[in-house]
Structure 1
Amino acid sequence: MQSADELKEKLNLETSWIGWHDLQTYYARGHVVRVSPDLDLLTVAAELAADNRPLFEKWMASGEVGDVPPDLARAWYERNAELWAVVIAPWVLIQDRNGSALH
């Protein structure tokens, strides 16, 4: 079994920038998870992989993790936002690191 640090190291190798247009199929299926820039994307991905439900419920309740609201999806589409992403199948975790005011 991998330690949390080993998992984060592995996930770091699997992160990349991706344009919002390239994520439309996943968004339409409801498989895109927005992660606040206030959180570490790799930590969130590792906790999702570990099925840490209590922590995810806390993040979701605070709005730090969740769905992409339609107004934000539209804004990202209009500028084809480049987002930092990692896949924890079937989920694509994305983070806007370019300072978008919309969360």
Structure 2
Amino acid sequence: MEDIKAKLKSEILEATWHALKPHHERGALIVVQHPLELDDVGVAIALDRSPIVEHWMNEGLLYKPSDEHVQTWEEEERKFFWSVIVQPFVLAKEVTPQEDLAFQQAYTIDA
């Protein structure tokens, strides 16, 4: 399990709504809410832990975007998400302004 989690964690990238939109259109986009982490959800899906995934869905911590979500994201010029692929799904979690700044600082390469 730790290997899967480490692999997923290393594959998490920032993505725009427009990059995620095609995955939504094919019904494969799942949004992850705080406080859940993408790698933890990815492990649960990869290991077919249906009871916990269903629990998170029932609690509203995982969901497929509604038309209202899509409309809001379409209207925002700079909308970013953390994302990771867990076949056949793409998991996405909205990036907060603080996370966006931390991400940019953490991955700035000194020249």
Partner of 1:11: 8
Unaligned runs of 5+ in 1: none
Count of residues paired in the alignment: 96
Unaligned runs of 5+ in 2: 98-111
Query: Is 1:71 matched up with 2:68?
Result: yes
Q: After TM superposition, which residue ranges in structure 1, 4 or more long, deviate above 2 angstroms?
A: none
Normalised TM-score (structure 1): 0.87
Deviation sequence 1:1-55 (CA, Å, 0-9, x none)? xxx2221111111110000011121111110001002101100001100000000
1:51 to 35, 48, 52: 48
Structure number with higher helix proportion: 2
Normalised TM-score (structure 2): 0.81
1:37·1:97 contact (CA, 8 Å) conserved in 2?
no
Partner of 2:89: 91
- Superposed counterparts of 1:22-33, under 5 Å: 22-33=19-30
- Give the CA RMSD over aligned residues: 1.2
Which amino acid is 1:93 matched to? L
Among all aligned residue pairs of Structure 1 and Structure 2, give the percentage whose two residues are the same amino acid: 28
Which amino acid is 1:91 matched to? F
Shift of 1:68: 0.9
